[in-house]
Each structure stands twice: as C-alpha cells, then as structure tokens.
Amino acid sequence: MGNLDSYRAILASSVVFQGLTTADLDPVLSASELIPRKPKELILSESSPTDGLYIVLEGEVEVFLPERAGSGAHRPSRVRLNRLGPGRCLGEYGLIDDQPSSASAEALTPAKLCFLSKAAFRRLVERHDRVGRIVYANLLRYLVSRLRGKDKELDILLLDDK
C-alpha cells in the first residue's frame, strides 16, 4: 500500500479502527487491499451482495439511493444519503449481517479505499482478539449512534409542537 504512514494514520482515526495501536494496525494493513476508484465509478450497488468493508483513504465518496431501486421500483430521483471523506467507512452493514447493500456508493473524485474482504475481516478478528474486541465495540457504537440519530429525525417529523 502506497503512502503507508499516511494511510495508517487515517485508519487509526477511523470510526472502525479507532483505539488500535500501530502494532494492531499492521495485520489490518497486511490483510487489506488498496482499491482505486475514478469519479462516477461504483463501489457498492443497492441490493447487490456486499463483499467487505471499505475505508476511504483519499478522495470523496457519495452514498445514495439510485432512481431505480434494487427491487425494480422507481424513486422520483436519486437520493443523496451521505458524502464520505478520508477515514469514513462503508459496507459495514453487510460485514455484520451478510445482507445485500442497503444503498449504492460511488466515487465523487479520484479515490483510494482500504478494502477488507469479509473473509479477511473474519480471519483478522478471529486471530487477533484485541483487534476484534476493539473493532466490534467501535462498530457497535457507530451503528447505535446512527440508529439514535434516525430516531431523532423521526421524532422531529412526528412530534407536535403544541
């Protein structure tokens, strides 16, 4: 992986790998692939099987719901869900539940991503207990915070100001 020190620092500050030491990150880096993406190039496709975890190292990625849903239904337009920069992750849902991707993602700019396949991720957390405990705790906190955020959004829509 090029720019190894820079990429290690980005991974160390990412929501998934936060709290890991440099020594803990070495097996993560050796199990990972560097994936380049050009602007408009898909990374994930809604309703397609997910293949692993991605961490943005360089560039920006947009997560969205396409006009044509995975079920074949049509949305009025493409729905932008999030814009991700260095240190942000995608593919984490499928890593946990083995379900198809819940959204699509594409590079907005030239991007480089750290990719950890499901099989490599599982081997990593099985062989390195400390890494597994920290990563799973980080993922759990991250997913719960997203769920709480969605609860607040729903409250804003449903609560009456009276």
How does pLDDT run across 77-112, given as a tens digit for each residue? 888 999 999 999 999 999 889 899 989 999 999 999
Spatial contact of 82 and 62, defined as CB atoms under 8 Å apart? yes
* 16, 128, 112, 11: CA torsion to nearest 10: 50
Q: Which parts of the chain register pLDDT below 50?
A: none
The whole-number pLDDT of residue 124 equals 95
The b-or-e profile of 9-18 (16+ CB within 10 A means b, else e) is ebbbebbbbb
Q: Give the integer Cα–Cα distance in Å for 128 and 79.
A: 39
The whole-number pLDDT of residue 2 equals 55
Q: Which domains does the chain have, with CATH numbers?
A: 4-158 (2.60.120.10)
Q: What are the E-state strand segments in the chain?
A: 33-37, 42-44, 52-58, 61-65, 79-84, 89-90, 104-107, 111-117
The whole-number pLDDT of residue 15 equals 93
Secondary structure class of 48 (helix, strand, coil)? coil
The whole-number pLDDT of residue 159 equals 72
Spatial contact of 92 and 138, defined as CB atoms under 8 Å apart? no
Q: Give the integer Cα–Cα distance in Å for 95 and 101.
A: 10
The whole-number pLDDT of residue 162 equals 55
- The pTM of this model reads 0.88
